[in-house]
Chain A
Amino acid sequence: MFQVRIHGRGGQGVVTAAELLALAAFEEGRFAQAFPSFGSERTGAPVVSFCRIDDREIRLREPVLEPDALLVVDPTLLHQVDVFGGCSPAAFILVNTVKSFDELGLGEFVTHFHHERLLTVPAGELAREHTGRPIANAALLGGFAALSLLLSLDAVASAIRQRFSGAVGEGNVAAARAAYDWVGGELRELSRVPA
Chain B
Amino acid sequence: MLRQLEGSRAVAEAVALCRPEVICAYPISPQTHIVEALAGLVKSGELAPCEFVNVESEFAAMSVAIGASATGARAYTATASQGLLYMAEALYNASGLGLPVVMTVANRAIGAPINIWNDHSDAMSQRDCGWIQLYAESNQEALDLHLQAFVLAEALSTPVMVCMDGFILTHAVERVDVPDQEAVDAFVPPFQPRQVLDPDEPVTIGAMVGPEAFMEVRYLAHAKQLRALELIPRIAADFQEAFGRDSGGLLRPYRMEDAETVVVALGSVLGTVKDTVDELREEGVRVGVLGLTSFRPFPLAAVREALVRARRVVVLEKALAVGIGGPVSANVHMALAEASAGGAPRCCTVIAGLGGRPITKASLRALLADAVADRLEPLTFLDLDWGVVNRELERMGASPTSGPHAENILRDVGPVAAGPV
Interface residues of A (CB under 8 A from B): 5, 18-19, 22-23, 26, 31-40, 45-48, 57-65, 80-83, 85-86
Contact A61/B271 with A22-B4, A45-B418, A81-B417 known, Cβ cut-off 8 Å: yes
A39 B361 Cβ-Cβ under 8 A: no
Q: Tell whether B230 is near chain A: CB-to-CB under 8 Å.
A: no
In the complex, what residues of B have CB within 8 A of residue A81's CB?
417-419
B420 A61 Cβ-Cβ under 8 A: no
A83 to B417 CA separation, bound complex (whole angstroms): 11
Beta-carbon contacts of B384-421 to A below 8 Å, as 1s and 0s? 00000000000000000000000000000000011111
A61 to B365 CA separation, bound complex (whole angstroms): 15
Interface residues of B (CB under 8 A from A): 4, 6, 30, 116-118, 138, 165, 167-168, 171-175, 268-272, 274-275, 356, 358-362, 417-421
A143 to B30 CA separation, bound complex (whole angstroms): 32
In the complex, what residues of A have CB within 8 A of residue B272's CB?
59-62
A59 B271 Cβ-Cβ under 8 A: yes
Count of inter-chain pairs, beta carbons less than 8 A:
95
B361 A62 Cβ-Cβ under 8 A: yes
A23 B356 Cβ-Cβ under 8 A: no
B4 A23 Cβ-Cβ under 8 A: yes
Contact partner of A61 (CB less than 8 A), chosen from B168, B173, B417, B421, is B168
B417 A60 Cβ-Cβ under 8 A: no
A35 B173 Cβ-Cβ under 8 A: yes
A5 B420 Cβ-Cβ under 8 A: yes
B168 A63 Cβ-Cβ under 8 A: no
A65 B173 Cβ-Cβ under 8 A: no
| Residue of chain B at shortest CB distance from A47 | B418
A36 to B30 CA separation, bound complex (whole angstroms): 12
List, sorted by A's number, 10 A–B pairs whose CB atoms are closer than 8 Å: A19-B173, A26-B4, A33-B174, A37-B418, A38-B117, A46-B417, A58-B271, A60-B275, A62-B360, A82-B419
For the complex formed, measure the closest distance between the CB of B82 and the CB atoms of chain A, giving whole angstroms: 16
A62 to B382 CA separation, bound complex (whole angstroms): 14
Contact partner of B421 (CB less than 8 A), chosen from A23, A35, A57, A63, is A63
In the complex, what residues of B have CB within 8 A of residue A39's CB?
116-117, 356
For the complex formed, measure the closest distance between the CB of A81 and the CB atoms of chain B, giving whole angstroms: 5
In the complex, what residues of A have CB within 8 A of residue B165's CB?
61
In the complex, what residues of A have CB within 8 A of residue B419's CB?
46, 48, 81-82, 85
In the complex, what residues of A have CB within 8 A of residue B172's CB?
33-35
| Residue of chain B at shortest CB distance from A37 | B418
B359 A32 Cβ-Cβ under 8 A: no
A188 to B138 CA separation, bound complex (whole angstroms): 42
In the complex, what residues of B have CB within 8 A of residue A83's CB?
420
B420 A26 Cβ-Cβ under 8 A: no
